[in-house]
Amino acid sequence: MKKKLIFIGGASRSGTTLIGNVFSNCANAVFLGELFRFFIYRNNDDSRKVPSEHTSCGCGVPVYKCPYNVYNNLIHDFPYNPNLYSKVRMSNFFYKLNKNDLDYIRNYNYYIFNKFKDSTFFVDSSKMGKLYKILKLFHSESYFIWVYRPYKEVVDSWSKEKSYLGSKSYFSSAKLFAIEVFWSFLAYYTTKSKNRLFLNFNNFRKDPNFYISQFNKMTDMSIPYFEDRHMKIINLNHSMAGNPSKGDQVYDIYLK
């Protein structure tokens, strides 16, 4: 059996969406990490839905209704409808877990989202140990891809977004930053070096086929090469990946 590529860590919306779309035809790719902060909103509980001003692609539609948002194809009513996972084969991972583990992962993400205070990063070691045990089940059959941004860039991008996220949005920039750090930390400490690859998604975004070729050489994968015609790229006015008003190149990406 071929090993799976498990992407885990904290990538921005644009980075995660690009990675998801590039690897969407690879049945061996599954995704953890940044996607988790969307899981808690993909249900019928109105109190957990993302506010209308927080959109994913700048189209003006709430993120949970946006027709272009790749997450809409994955996560709604998580995790009990496998038909909605076809884009990036989420079911390869989640349907090997039992319902208790699924609920645990989902609830823990909701827990850390609400427990972080603006100036505090805190991880409950007992809960983290449980997540470690869940992920460890896949060490022998998986390559864990640690998706990361350079630490300084993470800090800079969250600082730029603080005024946008902190005042008029339900989200707290400190909470989301903490979750991003948490998943990168968890990925680093729960994977064996021989099965752990590192992916700076800013470089990946510039030349995805170079990284795909490296993955194919280092693993037993046969990942299809990325073709630009499958994607449409929008230059945003706001994004967690940078500040366009200061000349940063900021993109959000979705399927045509």
pLDDT tens profile 155-172: 555 555 444 434 333 334
Domain count within the chain: 1
Q: Is the dihedral of CA 164, 168, 170, 175 positive or negative?
A: positive
| Rounded average pLDDT over 139-155 | 54
Mean pLDDT of the chain: 46
Task: Dihedral sign for Cα 59, 61, 62, 65, please.
Answer: negative
Average pLDDT (30-37) is: 43
pLDDT at 213 over 70: yes
- What domain range includes position 48? 4-172+180-255
Beta bridge partners of 232: 254
Q: What is the predicted pLDDT for the residue at 11?
A: 42
Instruction: Report, as an integer, the average pLDDT of 163-190.
Output: 45
- φ, ψ at 184 (rounded to 5°): -65, -40
> Is pLDDT at 153 greater than 70 in this prediction?
no
Least confident of 81-85, 178-182, 188-192: 81-85
State if pTM tops 0.85. Answer: no
What three-state secondary structure class fits 177? helix
Q: How far is CA 36 from CA 3, 154, 197, in A?
A: 23, 18, 21
